[in-house]
Amino acid sequence: MTGTMSARHLQSTLLLALDNDISLCSRKAYFASLSRWVQRMRALIGADLLRLYDLEWMSSVNPDDYALEQSELQPVAAVKRLREVSFSRRETLVVLVRDQLWGLMAYETEEWCETCGGDALRALVTTVDDVRLMVLGCDLCGALRVAGGAVLSDDVRVTPALKRDLRAWGMLHDDRTQ
């Protein structure tokens, strides 16, 4: 299968999967649909892209651990965008799916990036000496800093903060988790 055919096949399978589930319209249902699609299409996506974009991990997390419903991503609009674009490269579609999973998982704070000023920072975590540290990260420029302000190098592994992390840091309250 050529690259373009592979990308279009992946896109059609994704749209078909989402069409079956989109009636639910919740962010959690959308996340679950994207995750199931990644798991079913692993062979077509390819091990290289799964690894490069951390999709194995992202598609296997428990969505209840993340503040998905606080995301600004709108499932119906996201599916509309997927319909409007014709993907000629498999990687382009995979990146879009990865960005949507990330956009659902990574809690957006009210702080703006001091580096580029173009985006709200995401609440992320990293582990140093078995201690979970809150990290604020910018999706646009990639800037990372710990909550106290120290800038981190871009080779630090970060993941989206869990609901329990957000609660511990006073960013999420029980009445906002549903």
pLDDT, tens digit, 9 for 90 and up, residues 13-62: 888 878 766 555 789 989 999 999 999 999 999 999 999 999 999 999 99
Average pLDDT of the chain to the nearest whole number:
87
Stretch among 34-38, 98-102, 151-155 having the lowest mean pLDDT = 151-155
99 and 129 both lie in a single domain: no
Residues 126 and 38 in one domain: no
- Residue 3 pLDDT > 70: no
Q: What average pLDDT score do residues 62-79 get? A: 92
| pTM for the predicted model, two decimal places | 0.87
- Rounded CA-CA distance 118/67 in Å is 23
Lowest-pLDDT choice from 47-56, 125-134, 163-172: 125-134
7 and 74 co-located in one domain? yes
pLDDT at 57: 96
Question: What pLDDT shows up at residue 59?
Answer: 95
- Are 101 and 112 within one domain? no
- Residue 65 belongs to what domain range? 3-105
Into how many domains does the chain fold? Answer: 2
Q: Give mean pLDDT, residues 73-78.
A: 88
